[in-house]
């Protein structure tokens, strides 16, 4: 298989040609990626010529509905799920809130929910609040020395009273993917449901959800080169069990049951551009359509690992910075968080003087940072990239960090 053609990749992202952005190296991808030209074209077309109520009996309406269906069907095919299992919402935070509300009406005596302290708050706080509905909340704590979730520790708190386990596929700070398939298998052994937050994993390759075995899987399309939507997959058997969160007359439609706000027609339709982008990458690199999901994923990861390792080596040798998570690029996504013992926001501001766009904050991972002993007055500096980042840009961020740290 060919190596990733970085010049071709970047040619498909208009942001790299924009005056405000082209002179900068973008390292805030964990907060949201640039958008591919295919998504922008579809969004523009929808607003120009499809911005009517979809699924009607005139041409513009029929075309709008067809494009929304195309997005759902193509995303479902890539992730190896049935289309009715896929719901769209304004964000992953909104989707987790809605599904947690559904579980709040699903309580039985002695039910427990397991959450982690490694998660983004969107997939933690909503479940913790269900304690007020009677659920016992148990916490699967990370290893404070490594930041990782040790699977053997899950077994110590998992029993037949557990109704659901919520955990991240990949942390937005530690960057190390959890073995979601193995964890889901363990969860199923006690009859519980598995809710997997894939927001920080999906930008590096959309997963085969059927293979993972998750009952609920969530990610954000605006971090996977698309429009600002949250994507939620709910296994059909669970979706049918849970109470309706939408209009009462939509209860029989799985695609509407968990979207109380109603769909954003244009942004849903534009999500088909994500798959169009992946398909174009596959074709350009000589990958067969049937192999595209796994091989495009490998294409991304092989390239990311190659350009990530020098950054990890540099940070590991720097006394003024503590790397959070593994120092081996093969064991993490290119999301690199640093404990600097000083104000991370000010350091990020200094990096901008070098045309490096990074972030300093808690990144909605306060519980994780506190568990690792990070001073919350300082937060963490986060440098995150994806497959469209150039090797020269990683060299530039290393040089800039050497100046400011």
Report the C-alpha gap between 101 and 44 in whole angstroms: 34
- Which tens digits make up the pLDDT trace of 342-385? 999 999 999 999 999 999 999 999 999 999 999 999 999 999 99
- pLDDT recorded at residue 261: 84
Q: C-alpha distances in angstroms, 229 versus 218, 232, 270, 274?
A: 11, 10, 10, 12
Report the C-alpha gap between 361 and 346 in whole angstroms: 10
Beta 136-140 vs 356-357: how paired, if at all?
unpaired
Report the C-alpha gap between 135 and 104 in whole angstroms: 8
Report the C-alpha gap between 190 and 87 in whole angstroms: 27
Residues in the chain: 405
- pTM attached to this predicted model: 0.97
Report the C-alpha gap between 360 and 199 in whole angstroms: 19
- pLDDT recorded at residue 334: 98
Q: What radius of gyration do the chain's Cα atoms show? A: 21
pLDDT-flagged residues of the chain (< 70): 1
Q: What is the greatest pairwise CA distance in the chain?
A: 66
Same fold, 6-35+293-404 and 43-275: no
- CATH tag, 43-275: 3.40.640.10
Report the C-alpha gap between 234 and 343 in whole angstroms: 40
- pLDDT recorded at residue 226: 98
- pLDDT recorded at residue 103: 97
- pLDDT recorded at residue 78: 96
- Which tens digits make up the pLDDT trace of 75-114? 999 999 999 999 999 999 999 999 999 999 989 999 999 9
- pLDDT recorded at residue 16: 98
- pLDDT recorded at residue 156: 97
Q: Where are the domains of the chain?
A: 6-35+293-404, 43-275
Selecting from 3.40.50.1100, 3.40.50.720, 3.90.1150.10, 3.90.79.10, what CATH number does the domain 6-35+293-404 have? 3.90.1150.10
- pLDDT recorded at residue 71: 98
Q: C-alpha distances in angstroms, 275 versus 5, 20, 202, 243, 349?
A: 18, 27, 13, 31, 35
- pLDDT recorded at residue 127: 98
Closest CA to 337 of 350, 352, 322: 322
């Amino acid at each position: 298989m060919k190596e990733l053609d970085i010049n071709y990749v970047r040619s498909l992202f208009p942001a790299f040609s924009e005056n405000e952005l082209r002179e900068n190296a973008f390292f805030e991808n964990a907060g949201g990626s640039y958008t591919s030209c295919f998504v922008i074209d579809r969004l523009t077309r929808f607003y120009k010529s499809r911005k009517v109520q979809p699924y009607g009996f005139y041409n513009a309406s029929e075309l709008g509905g067809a494009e929304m269906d195309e997005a759902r069907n193509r995303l479902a095919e890539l992730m190896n799920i049935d289309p009715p299992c896929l719901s769209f919402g304004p964000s992953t935070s909104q989707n987790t809130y809605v599904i947690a509300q559904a579980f709040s009406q699903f309580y039985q005596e002695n039910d427990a929910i397991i959450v982690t302290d490694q998660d983004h708050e969107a997939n933690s706080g909503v479940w913790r609040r269900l304690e007020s509905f009677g659920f016992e909340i148990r916490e699967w704590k990370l290893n404070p020395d490594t930041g990782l979730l040790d699977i053997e520790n899950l077994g110590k708190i998992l029993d037949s009273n557990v109704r659901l386990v919520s955990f991240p596929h990949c942390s937005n700070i530690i960057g190390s993917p959890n073995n979601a398939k193995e964890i889901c298998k363990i969860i199923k052994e006690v009859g519980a449901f598995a809710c997997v937050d894939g927001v920080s994993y999906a930008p590096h390759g959309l997963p085969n959800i059927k293979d993972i075995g998750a009952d609920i899987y969530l990610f954000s399309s605006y971090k996977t080169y698309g429009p600002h939507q949250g994507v939620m997959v709910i296994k059909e058997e669970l979706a049918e069990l849970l109470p309706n969160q939408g209009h009462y007359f939509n209860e029989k439609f799985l695609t509407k049951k968990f979207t109380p706000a109603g769909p954003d027609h244009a942004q849903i339709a534009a999500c088909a551009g994500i798959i169009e982008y992946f398909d174009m990458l596959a074709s350009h690199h000589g990958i067969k359509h049937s192999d595209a999901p796994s091989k495009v994923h490998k294409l991304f990861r092989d390239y990311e690992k190659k350009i990530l390792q020098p950054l990890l080596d540099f940070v590991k040798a720097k006394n003024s910075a503590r790397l959070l998570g593994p120092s081996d690029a093969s064991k993490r996504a290119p999301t690199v968080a640093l404990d600097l013992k000083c104000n991370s926001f000010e350091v990020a501001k200094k990096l901008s003087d070098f045309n490096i766009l990074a972030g300093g904050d808690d990144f909605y991972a306060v519980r994780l940072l506190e568990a690792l002993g990070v001073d919350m007055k300082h937060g963490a500096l986060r440098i995150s990239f994806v497959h469209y980042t150039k090797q020269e840009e990683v060299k530039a961020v290393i040089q800039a960090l050497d100046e400011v740290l």
